[in-house]
Amino acid sequence: MRGTFRSPGTREAGGIRTGLRWKLSAAIALVGALIAITLSLVVHNAARVSMLDNARDLADERLQIAQRNYELSGRLNFPNLQRDDPDLPRALREKVDEGRRATYVTERHSGVPDIWAAVPVKDGHVLSLHTGFTDRSTDILKDLDQALVIGSIAVVLGGSALGVLIGGQFSRRLRKAAAAANQVAKGETDVRVRAAIGGVVRDETDDLASAVDAMADALQQRLEAERRVTADIAHELRTPVTGLLTAAELLPPGRPTELVLDRAKAMRTLVEDVLEVARLDGASERAELQDLLLGEFVTRRVAAKDPDIEVRVVHESMVTTDPRRLERVLFNLLANAARHGKPPIQVTVEGRVIRVRDHGPGFPADLLADGPSRFRTGSSDRSGHGHGLGLTIAAGQARVLGARLTFRNVRPAGSPDHVPAEGAVAVLWLPEHAPTNTGSYPMLP
C-alpha cells in the first residue's frame, strides 16, 4: 500500500493534475489500510496469545496427571515426561526452585513456540514436559492470517471504490459550479451556480454556490448602477454639447473657431461613444440580420472610408449579419490602426474572417492579455491620443454579432517577446450561424 500511496504524490510533484475523487479515494484507502493492518495485528496477536494460553493450560493439566502417576508408581510412565531436564529454561527453573508449579514459553529460531511445564516432587526431583506448538495451531494461525489479509484487501478496495463514488459526486458538483461561475464571469448574468449544481443534498458546495450567486448579484447590481449613471451623465451631456457645437458653428471664421469646433466635435464623439458603450454593457442589443457577400461589403466600405487602404479578398463568403454593426466594428479597427499604427494598413477577407493589420509598434501587453478596456488605448505608447473606447465598442458590437474579436502582434518568425513588434493584427471571426432572436450565440473555434 505504501507504493500505491506514494505514486500520486510523485505525480503532483511533477506538475500533473490529480482529481479530487482520486485524492479522496487514496485518502480513504490509506486510512482503511492502516485500520485493517492495525486490526489484523491485534486479532493475530490476540489469537496467538489465546492459543498459547490454551497450550500452557493443557501442558499444566498433563503435568499434574504425570505428577500423580509418578508419585504413585515412582516411574516416568507419561509421554515426553522428563526428570531433572538439563535444558529446562532458567526462568522456569527459578520458579521451580521456589517450590512452585509453572509453565513457560520459548521460541525457536524459526519462530515456532515451545511449551514448557515443570513441577517439583517430594523426592526432590523436578518433573517437566516439553512440547512444541502443534501443527494444527500453526495451520489455524495461517488460515486466520490469510483471512485477515483477504479482509484487509477487501476493505481497502471497498474504501477506494467508496472514495471514488463520493469524491466523484463531490467533484462533479464542483465542476458544475466552476463551469457556471465561468459563465457568469463571461457575462451570462442569468446563470446561477446553485441551480447549475442541482441535487437535493445540502453540503458545503451549496454554501459556496450561494456565496458565488450572492457575489454575482451584488456585482451585477453595482455594474448596472454604474452603467445607468454613465448613461445618464452622457445623455445629460448630449444636449449642452450639441448646443455648444451649434454655437461654435456661428462663430466668425478663423483659427480659434476651428479649434473650438474641433474640440466640440471630439466631445460630441466621446459622449456618443460613452452612450454606445453603456447600451452594449446593458446586454439588450440585438442584431438586425441581413445576408451579404462579406468580401464585397468590406471592399466597398473600406474604399468609401479611405481609398488608400489595401483590401484583399482571398475567399468570398455569404454571411448573415448586421451590416451597421459590422461596419462599426470595421471602421473602429481601421481608426485604431490609423491612429496608433503606421501605414500601410491592410485588410484581408478570407471566408468569414476579417483581418486588419498595420505596421506600427503593436498592441500593448495588457490589451493582449485582458482584451479591450474603456479609456485604455490600443497603442503601445501610453502617450497616444484617444480614450480607448473604439476597441471596447468594436468588441461589444462583435459580441452582439456573435463574433469573436482577437488581437495579436506581428514579430519575425522565432523571435522572442522582447523583440519589438512589426505591426498589429485585429482578427474578426464571424460565426457560421447567425445569432438567435434570444441573443444566444454559436460556439466559435
Q: Where are the alpha helices (DSSP H) in 250-322?
A: 255-281, 294-305
Q: Please confirm whether the linkage preceding 361 is cis (ω < 30° from 0).
A: no
Identify which has the larger pLDDT, 424 or 184: 424
Sign of the torsion formed by the C-alpha atoms of 197, 200, 205 and 207: positive
Please give the helix or strand (H or E) that residue 211 lies within, else none. helix 204-249
CA distance 337 to 414: 25
The distance from CA 261 to its chain's CA centroid, rounded to whole angstroms, is 56
Mean pLDDT over 140-161 rounds to 83
Q: Where are the extended beta strands (E) located within 162-255? A: none
**pTM of the shown model:** 0.51
Residue 299 predicted with pLDDT over 90: yes
Any idea which residue has 441551480 for its cell? Answer: 195
pLDDT band (50, 70, 90) for residue 293:
very high
Q: What number of H helices and E strands is found in the chain?
A: 11, 11
Question: How much is the pLDDT for 349?
Answer: 92
Any idea which residue has 471596447 for its cell? Answer: 392
Position 144, amino acid: L
Mean pLDDT over 173-195 rounds to 78
Query: What is the domain class of 204-281 according to CATH?
Result: mainly alpha
Residue 440 predicted with pLDDT over 60: no
The candidate with the shortest Cα–Cα distance to 386, out of 395, 377, 397, is 377
CA distance 356 to 326: 13
Identify which has the larger pLDDT, 405 or 178: 405
Question: How much is the pLDDT for 6?
Answer: 37
How many of the other CB atoms lie within 10 Å of CB of 150?
10
The candidate with the shortest Cα–Cα distance to 360, out of 338, 342, 387, 383, is 342
CA distance 242 to 239: 5
Please give the helix or strand (H or E) that residue 173 lies within, else none. helix 135-185
- Alpha carbon of 130 to those of 85, 110, 117, 300: distances in Å? 10, 17, 7, 113
CATH for 290-429 is 3.30.565.10
Q: For 44-91, how does the pLDDT look when each residue is reduced to its tens digit (9 = 90+)?
A: 888 888 888 888 888 888 888 888 888 788 777 778 788 888 888 888
Q: What is the DSSP letter of 98?
A: T
Residue 438 predicted with pLDDT over 80: no
The domains of the chain are located at 2-162, 204-281, 290-429
Q: Average pLDDT, whole number, for the chain?
A: 77
Sign of the torsion formed by the C-alpha atoms of 233, 236, 239 and 244: negative
Q: For 240-290, how does the pLDDT look when each residue is reduced to its tens digit (9 = 90+)?
A: 777 877 887 777 888 887 888 778 777 777 777 676 666 666 666 687 888
Q: For 344-360, how does the pLDDT look when each residue is reduced to its tens digit (9 = 90+)?
A: 899 999 999 999 999 88
Mean pLDDT over 134-155 rounds to 79
pLDDT band (50, 70, 90) for residue 435:
low
